[in-house]
Amino acid sequence: MALKKQHIHLSDLQHIKSAVDNSPFGIYILDRDVRFVYVSEGFCRMTDLTADELYEDTAAFFNLIHTDDVDAFFAANEATLKGFHEFSHELRLVTGGRIRWFWIRSLPKQEEDGTWYWHGTMLDITNRKEIERPSDEARTRYETFTAISNTGAWEYDMRNDRLWFSEEYLAMIGLDARQYRLQYGGKMQNWIDLMHPEDRNEANRVFQSYLADEADTGIYETYFRLKHSNGSWVWIWSRGRKLCDEQGRFQGKVLGTHINVTETKEREQRLKESNTKYRIAAEFSPDWEYWVRPDGTFEYISPFCEQISGYTADEFMKDISLFEKIIYTEDKPEWERHKRLHIGGQNHQSDEFETVEFRIQHKDGSIHWIEHICRPIFDDTGVYLGQRGTNRDVTQRHATGSEMKKLLKAVQNSPATVVITDRDGNIEYVNPKFTEVTGYTPGEVIGLNPRILKSEFKSREEYENLWNTILSGKSWTGEFKNIKKNGEAYWEHAMISPITDETGFITHFIAIKEDITQLKKREDELKEVIEIVSDQNKRLQEFNYILSHNIRSYAANIAAILTESKAADDESTRRELMGMLDTVSEGLLSTLYNLNENLSIQREVNVERTELDLKAYTDKILADHKIQLAESGIQVSVAISPDCTVSYNPAYLQSVLQNLVTNAIRYRSEKRTPIIEIKARRNGEFVEMTVRDNGIGIDLKHHGSRLFGLRQVFTDNPEARGLGLYIVRNQVSVMGGRIDVDSSPGQGTTFTVWMPAGAY
């Protein structure tokens, strides 16, 4: 299958630019009539103008141009329009009450219909200009220095052995161009003949060695004396460099400068005689110049060191290790290598040097890139005088290249999935993260609809809402459960936004999506834990209700027996009451045991069951409440078939029977002889048990919906707590059964409970 080429349209780039909104560029497009047809948000921020203002009147932009830059800008613009070539210009704009520098660059491009447009960018270069300002001032001082120091230029063409000197150079030795041509001509030998006899051989050797070494494209440098027309000798500092093509091949020419350093040499001699050293005259240099003595201390540091490093010359003078201290840790090995090979120079020749780059930490904490050059210095007799060096701040050069790389990486290496579609939803672009997440390559999905990833998670109505939102010009945010190429499901959090052209018409859509599969998984795990904890809390709460509610019944029975025992007249009655007390005590202990067993299994999702004899449990509950039943005059009848065994938890069965019996006792009627009828029969997979009384009854029309609620009380009985029926209903439900009620006020109540039947 052939791969389809990806296409990123202008509007795509506009949105991608928004995604990397920290980009320093503003983007614009001009038509041939110099009208804006598109401006980016960044361009608007730079100009403090809205897109509508710029589209309506291009002059709104021109009015921002600084008065001093207007003529130059329009002249450059007019030349560009005539020649249809690249436009590159720096100018100042006055926006927001302040002046800022910008670099504007554009290229003409002809569309398929023959229409010409200029596609351009604008970059705020105010910071760079602030840095360059002192450089410009220093350059002016440097040119003044060059003039007063009598610096001249020279060129040597080895192909025809021709030397050319500027008028400044010739003036150093008292000649003009005509005199030099007539008297000496333009040959190398004539130049050598002008040298002092003591300097002639060495100067010629150094220069010829430089020419002979084709690999040496560095700087040639030497000192010699030339004879002035008045008979005196002039010291010349000669420097030059080979002229090479772009491939670094020597073109046969050397270009250089001659500086009259007679006064410097005389001063050096005087300093030598008085045991002081020469200082480098670099006050006007835009670079950080220094001279280190043989003992490692500084002879001189130029003032510009503070501009580059933040530290003054005095601070470096006082701490000779400060320079190495501020070198960036990762670059120290490179500095040590350079120092080992090129510093400490008594064994090095004076023309040896190396350019090396490393970072330093500015006093304000910022990082600056430094281009460093140094070389040893010797006097005429070969005595080592120290090391001379130059540090140049090249941070801006590094930053420009670095920012461009970052911008490109931000587009292609986004940690989020990026998908761009046309207006119909057909994919036109996906970034590498898309392939990493879904498994689909760009060639497999470009031209298709993202529905290839669709699962059945979202309804048709939800997709309609999504499309209605983005077609209205708004962004949609939500979650998708999609399917990867390998069939694996995954979750994404997506933001889908429309992309519009200059007229506001929606041309494309962009989706930026994050894989949240692991987050959703953790959410599901958390929900499961919450459900388990909630269920356990509910069971523990229920246990507390059972404990407080059921134990009260036994406490009431024990209290009643003790009261009767105190009032008994004969020993036989007391013995009978003590027997009842034993029975109630056994019931209480049994209840506590069952409750304890029930508590021990509260951690389990499924409550423990066992085969229980319903008749035996009913008889035991009635025996536990014999005193209360007798005192209340209640007539009890029990009709439970022998096959009524239930699959139940003992604590739950005991609690259900006890609550239904005590409710019948508590809510009996004083107007008639109270009765309690308990019946049970096997009905398929369940045992159907009814507990009927003729007590005060319940108004189900008013209370039926709340009957089994927690703490719901429907009478004025002071013993009512609203717990019994709540406990019964929950326990019956947990065991897989159900409970119904039929009641009328003043007639009585019948509870019907269906419990899972045990084995025959």
pLDDT score at 279:
47
CA–CA separation, 90 vs 104, rounded Å? 6
Strand, coil or helix: what is 326? coil
75: enclosing H helix or E strand: helix 70-83
Taking 90 as the threshold, does the pLDDT of residue 215 lie above it? no
pLDDT score at 692:
95
- Token couple for 291: 């001279």
Contacts of 739 (CB under 8 A, 6+ apart): 708, 728, 729, 732, 751, 752, 753, 754
Average pLDDT, the chain: 79
CA–CA separation, 145 vs 673, rounded Å? 130
Which residues pair with residue 476 across a beta bridge? Answer: 496
Is there a contact between 236 and 225 (Cβ–Cβ < 8 Å)? yes
pLDDT digits (tens, 9 = 90+) for 245-285: 877 888 888 888 888 888 777 766 655 553 344 344 456 66
Side chain identity at residue 409, one-letter code: K
Radius of gyration of the chain (CA): 50
> Would you mind telling me the total number of residues written for the chain in this entry?
760
* pLDDT confidence bin for 526, thresholds 50/70/90: confident
Return the CATH architecture of domain 149-269. 2-Layer Sandwich (3.30)
What is the maximum alpha-carbon separation in the chain? 164
Strand, coil or helix: what is 723? coil
Residue 486 CB neighbours (<10 A): 7
Which residues pair with residue 257 across a beta bridge? Answer: 153, 239
- Token couple for 694: 């003729």
323: enclosing H helix or E strand: helix 322-325
pLDDT digits (tens, 9 = 90+) for 477-504: 888 888 888 888 888 888 888 888 878 8
pLDDT digits (tens, 9 = 90+) for 191-201: 788 889 999 89
Taking 50 as the threshold, does the pLDDT of residue 628 lie above it? yes
pLDDT score at 2:
36
pLDDT score at 585:
67
Q: What CATH number should be reported for the domain whose range is 277-398?
A: 3.30.450.20
| CA contacts within 13 A on the Cβ side of 36 | 24
What pTM does this model have?
0.29
| CATH homologous superfamily, domain 413-515 | PAS domain (3.30.450.20)
Is there a contact between 203 and 194 (Cβ–Cβ < 8 Å)? no
Strand segments, DSSP code E, in 6-143 are 25-31, 36-39, 87-95, 98-110, 116-124
- Per-residue 3-state assignment (H helix, E strand, C coil) for 377-412: EECCCCCEEEEEEEEEECHHHHHHHHHHHHHHHHHH
Is there a contact between 289 and 389 (Cβ–Cβ < 8 Å)? yes
CATH number (3.20.20.70, 3.30.450.20, 3.40.50.1820, 3.40.50.2300) of 10-124 reads 3.30.450.20
Which residues pair with residue 531 across a beta bridge? Answer: none
The values of phi and psi at residue 136, to 5°, are -65, -40
> Which of 398, 389, 390 has its CA nearest to residue 369?
398
Strand, coil or helix: what is 309? helix
Is there a contact between 161 and 253 (Cβ–Cβ < 8 Å)? no
Taking 50 as the threshold, does the pLDDT of residue 576 lie above it? yes
Average pLDDT over residues 661-672: 88
pLDDT digits (tens, 9 = 90+) for 40-82: 888 888 889 998 998 999 888 989 999 888 888 888 888 877 7
Domain ranges of the chain: 10-124, 149-269, 277-398, 413-515, 527-756
CA–CA separation, 466 vs 478, rounded Å? 9
Taking 60 as the threshold, does the pLDDT of residue 653 lie above it? yes
Topology (CATH level 3) of domain 527-756: Heat Shock Protein 90 (3.30.565)
CA distances from 242 to 140, 224, 672 (A): 27, 20, 130
Domains 10-124 and 527-756 agree in fold: no
Taking 60 as the threshold, does the pLDDT of residue 669 lie above it? yes
Contacts of 146 (CB under 8 A, 6+ apart): none
Taking 70 as the threshold, does the pLDDT of residue 591 lie above it? no
Count Cβ neighbours within 10 Å for each residue of 497-531 and write b for 16 or more, e otherwise.
bbbeeeeeebebbbbbbbbbeeebeeeeeeeeeee
Contacts of 171 (CB under 8 A, 6+ apart): 150, 152
